[in-house]
Amino acid sequence: MVEVSAVKTMEELADIAYAKVNSRQISPHCHVGQVACALLADNGNVYLGVCIDTACALGFCAEHAAIAHMICDGESKIAKIVAVGEDRKILAPCGRCREFMCQVNPKNLDTLVMVAPNTVVRLRELLPYAYVVEE
């Protein structure tokens, strides 16, 4: 978790994620850090994650890592989320990440997701037919 008292904009959240991008090979079969994610939880805390890519596809996305950190802290509701690549490009969450956010907490369908510079949508717009139906 990052202690950030007042993240107000998606751009500020993206800057926090950019600071965590650190692409490197940690073993012959594992490359990490080429994508980073920052999320603002409903409680105001910011959680970070980086991708872990393995040769046999057992790795996971930066969004999954950030969400796992949030869950470790007892939270499940995401207010805002953004993922960024090495080239400072904003990356929309993949389908697996979209569904994961929804299944962690169906109220996350209202999460604000930055999908491109100056473009923010709600998760429900990216996942109109979620596996989990909102209660």
Residues forming the active site? 63
Long-range pairs, 89-92, Cβ under 8 A, ≥24: 90/14, 90/114, 90/115, 90/116, 90/117, 90/119, 91/35, 92/116, 92/126
Please check whether residue 101 is in contact with residue 62, taking contact to mean a CB–CB distance below 8 angstroms.
no
Please check whether residue 48 is in contact with residue 2, taking contact to mean a CB–CB distance below 8 angstroms.
yes
- In the block, residue with structure tokens 């993922």: 83
